[in-house]
């Protein structure tokens, strides 16, 4: 896409003022890094607090008493059992058990719902949001109102000192634990805050009216702990944390069980559960749960310091094809070349040696447990 055709988030001018290098991403001009560089931004997030602009993501709400039951016809997770003020990871599936997108679902309290966040508040991926909204309207629009919220921006404040910085704007955020959320006034701005994120660190995602997004971002950047970070660091952080990126590690051909996401499917929605099935691809997913999938997403650690990138072919010790890398980088925190890949189930055991073909040379890698860097959520 040409620069002129790219969409801008409400923080675009702030990014350029801070010296960000802007790149196309999901139809938007987004900051990939700032003058300090990707490595410094990554390490600052692990050690202190980093501020990411994720306003390109899709925010929407579902309104109506039937919203939770309706949404359960499209996702294999327990929405009806989600408590007020709690958040849950989910994914839309297709008829073959593949993943149309992954998303976050929050059940606001009645007061937060009345304030404009609906009976359910959803955040979906930027590249899928138009299709996701159409999918919801087509399949459950007759049972609840599907209301896109383009008037809101989204900021992610991530890192072990994120809570210190945010608490200066509202001490009440310290009461939140991982995967909980609610409305808070931050610097006098009415925001919806969840204690969650995409880095493996403690942190928060903050939905803010777009007209006041710059004001909030500047208030956060004024805190001693906080520095801006771009998409480059966001990617290396999430990869070290073993988290999937839609369109790379998961897609319409990937079942959640192949992807190692079975933890997100509660027992009540599995075969034999009180509300089993009833969503697209349920038979395939239940079969994978019962019998095991034919392939699995695994972590890989390089024996040599040779970065292995997405699309790299893998081979077993006999030279037979053994899958493909879906994400890879030199992990700044773990100081190793790390990757994720889909390999045949028989080769997915931790400790298995595989070989990645990099520029005509086969480089040894070892199947490793995920995540590469420990999660440090506030539970």
The domain defined by 3-54+151-240 carries CATH number 3.40.50.10420: no
Q: 279 has which bridge partners?
A: none
Report the distance separating Cα 277 and Cα 268, nearest Å: 9
* CB-CB neighbours of 294 under 10 Å: 12
Sheet with 152-158, strands from edge to edge, namely: 181-186, 189-194, 203-209, 152-158, 49-53, 226-228
- What architecture (CATH level 2) is domain 294-373+375-379? Beta Barrel (2.40)
The contacts found for 80-85 with CB under 8 angstroms, 24 or more apart, are 80/275, 81/266, 81/268, 82/107, 83/107, 84/108, 84/109, 84/110, 85/109, 85/112, 85/180, 85/181, 85/182
Pairing of strands 120-124, 203-209: unpaired
Task: Mention every residue, 6+ apart, whose C-beta is less than 8 A from residue 11.
Answer: 53, 55, 153, 213, 214, 217
Q: Which two tokens stand for residue 301?
A: 């650690």
- The pLDDT of residue 92: 98
Can you list the positions of beta strands (E) in the chain?
21-25, 28-33, 49-53, 58-63, 86-93, 99-107, 120-124, 145-148, 152-158, 181-186, 189-194, 203-209, 226-228, 295-302, 313-315, 321-331, 336-344, 353-358, 361-368
Query: Which sign, positive or negative, has the C-alpha torsion 169, 170, 171, 175?
Result: negative
The answer to whether the beta carbons of residues 48 and 225 sit under 8 Å apart is yes
The answer to whether the beta carbons of residues 90 and 43 sit under 8 Å apart is no
Q: Which two tokens stand for residue 128?
A: 């899928």
Which whole number is the average pLDDT over 215-229? 98
Domain boundary assignment for the chain: 3-54+151-240, 294-373+375-379
In sequence order, what DSSP letters do the residues of 327-377 get, joined into one string?
Answer: EEEEETTTTEEEEEEEEEGGG-STT-EEEEEETTEEEEEEEE-S-SS--B-
Which whole number is the average pLDDT over 293-306? 96
Report the distance separating Cα 29 and Cα 17, nearest Å: 14
Equal fold, 3-54+151-240 vs 294-373+375-379: no
Report the distance separating Cα 59 and Cα 224, nearest Å: 29
- The pLDDT of residue 2: 65
> Residue 371: pLDDT band by 50, 70, 90 thresholds?
very high
Three-state DSSP at 300 gives strand
- The pLDDT of residue 4: 76
The answer to whether the beta carbons of residues 297 and 260 sit under 8 Å apart is yes
Three-state DSSP at 41 gives helix
Which whole number is the average pLDDT over 291-308? 96
Task: Mention every residue, 6+ apart, whose C-beta is less than 8 A from residue 47.
Answer: 159, 160, 161
H runs (alpha helix) in 251-309: 282-291
Sheet with 58-63, strands from edge to edge, namely: 86-93, 99-107, 120-124, 58-63, 145-148
DSSP structural state of residue 195: S
Q: Which two tokens stand for residue 211?
A: 């007209």
Q: Which residue has the tokens 């034919």?
A: 294
| pTM assigned to the model | 0.96
Which whole number is the average pLDDT over 73-92? 98
Nearest one of 296, 366, 355, 352 to 321, comparing CA atoms: 355
> Residue 19: pLDDT band by 50, 70, 90 thresholds?
very high
Nearest one of 231, 233, 184, 230 to 204, comparing CA atoms: 184
The answer to whether the beta carbons of residues 173 and 204 sit under 8 Å apart is yes
Pairing of strands 145-148, 58-63: antiparallel
User: What's the pLDDT tens digit per position in 152-176?
Assistant: 999 999 999 999 999 999 999 999 9
> Residue 1: pLDDT band by 50, 70, 90 thresholds?
low
Assess whether pLDDT exceeds 80 at residue 44.
yes
Burial class (CB in 10 A: 0-12, 13-18, 19+), 349: exposed
User: What's the pLDDT tens digit per position in 329-357?
Assistant: 999 999 999 999 999 999 999 999 999 99
């Amino acid at each position: 896409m040409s620069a002129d055709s790219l969409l801008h988030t409400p923080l675009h001018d702030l990014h350029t003022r801070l010296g960000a290098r802007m790149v196309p991403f999901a139809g938007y001009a987004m900051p990939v890094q700032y003058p300090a560089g990707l490595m410094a931004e990554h390490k600052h997030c692990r050690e202190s607090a980093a501020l990411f602009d994720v306003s390109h993501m899709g925010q929407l709400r579902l309104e109506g008493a039937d919203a939770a039951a309706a949404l359960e016809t499209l996702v294999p997770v327990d929405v009806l059992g989600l408590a007020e003020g709690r958040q849950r990871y989910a994914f839309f599936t297709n008829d073959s058990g593949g993943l149309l997108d992954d998303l976050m679902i929050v059940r606001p309290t009645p007061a937060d719902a009345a304030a404009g966040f609906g009976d359910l508040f959803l955040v979906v991926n930027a590249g899928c949001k138009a299709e996701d909204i159409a999918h919801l309207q087509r399949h459950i629009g007759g049972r609840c109102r599907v209301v896109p919220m383009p008037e809101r921006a989204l900021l992610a404040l991530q890192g072990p000192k994120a809570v210190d910085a945010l608490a200066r704007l509202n001490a009440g955020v310290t009461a939140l634990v991982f995967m909980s959320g609610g409305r808070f006034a931050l610097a006098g701005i009415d925001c919806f805050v969840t204690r969650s994120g995409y880095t493996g660190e403690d942190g928060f995602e903050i939905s803010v009216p777009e007209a006041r997004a710059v004001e909030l971002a500047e208030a956060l950047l004024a805190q001693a702990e906080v520095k801006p970070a771009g998409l480059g660091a966001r990617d290396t952080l999430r990869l070290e944390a073993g988290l999937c990126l839609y369109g790379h590690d998961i897609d319409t051909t990937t079942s959640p069980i192949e992807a190692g996401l079975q933890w997100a499917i509660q027992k009540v929605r599995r075969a034999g559960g009180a509300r089993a099935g009833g969503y697209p691809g349920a038979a395939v997913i239940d079969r994978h749960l019962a019998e095991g999938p034919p392939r699995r997403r695994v972590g890989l650690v390089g024996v040599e310091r040779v970065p292995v990138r997405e699309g790299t072919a893998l081979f077993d010790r006999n030279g037979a094809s053994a899958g493909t890398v879906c994400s890879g980088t030199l992990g700044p925190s773990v100081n190793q070349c790390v990757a994720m890949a889909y390999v045949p189930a028989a080769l997915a055991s931790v400790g298995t040696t595989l070989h990645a073909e990099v520029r005509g040379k086969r480089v040894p890698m070892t199947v490793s447990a995920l995540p590469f860097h420990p999660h440090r959520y506030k539970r």
